[in-house]
Amino acid sequence: MPDTIRVLLADDHRIVREGLKQVLADAAEIEVCAEATSGAQVLAVVRAHGGPPALHVVLLDIAMPDGDGLDVLQQLRKDWPLLPVLMLSTYPERQYAVRCIKLGAAGYLNKGADPDDMIAAVRKVASGGRYVTPATAEALASAVGSAAAGVGHEALSHREHQVFRLLTTGHNVSEIGARLQLAPNTVSTYRARILEKTGTKNDVELALYAERHARGG
């Protein structure tokens, strides 16, 4: 582990960034050396620093204003495979932790996590390890069974999962197509696959399915 852990903090909410900086400031060896408020800015900042060893950890919000934090994660893994990315979210572990780790994240942290856990997570991934909470470990174990059976939201592809998230937050097919730069009929195809894999019949049932799984039911 480096003597000083240099962190890029990426979140579009200033109050969240300030709170996280205060938490990390309790660890003398952790330095927030850069901040970003959008996915494009994350990529630009990492490029400007030249990736590691100038940066040791990226703390990345899963919901960025200019797109999906998971897309940013994938791009970082492609361009800078040695740079650990720790995903941040307000969503419970069972909803997104597994997908983040599958896409190459070094760990997943809920923004409401204990400050000591946040510091431990940064130290862990900076040293080359993965940070897995008990809740994430449980979600991973559950996902193995669902994916093997080809059912449930864990069996969705990355693109299907993007459509799933947007459908269950009230976006229609046209809006999803515009946001993901997909033709409406392509979005409809993804929607049909999602309904089949989740065992739901329409958008209302799909929204209830998402709510149930977010609660852990």
Domain count within the chain: 2
| CA-based end-to-end distance of the chain | 39
- pLDDT in the model for residue 26: 93
| Domain ranges, residue 134 | 5-138
Report pTM: 0.70
87 & 171 share domain? no
> How far apart are the C-alpha atoms of 186 and 95, rounded to whole Å?
24
pLDDT of residue 215: 61
Residue 79 above 90 pLDDT? yes
Q: Supply angle C-alpha 30, 65, 50, rounded to 5.
A: 45
pLDDT in tens, 137-194: 776 766 665 554 445 666 788 888 888 888 888 889 999 999 888 899 999 998 998 8
**Residue 87: other Cβ atoms inside 10 A:** 26
Min mean pLDDT across 18-27, 55-64, 97-106, 112-121 is at 97-106
Last residue of a domain, one of 82, 114, 138: 138
Q: Based on the fold, state whether residues 105 and 158 are members of the same structural domain.
A: no
Same domain, 12 and 76: yes
- Picking from 112, 138, 164, the residue at the C-terminal end of a domain is 138
Q: Are residues 160 and 132 in the same domain?
A: no
Domain membership flag for residue 143: no
Instruction: Write down the pLDDT at residue 210.
Output: 83
Average pLDDT of the chain?
86
Residue 60 within any structural domain of the chain: yes
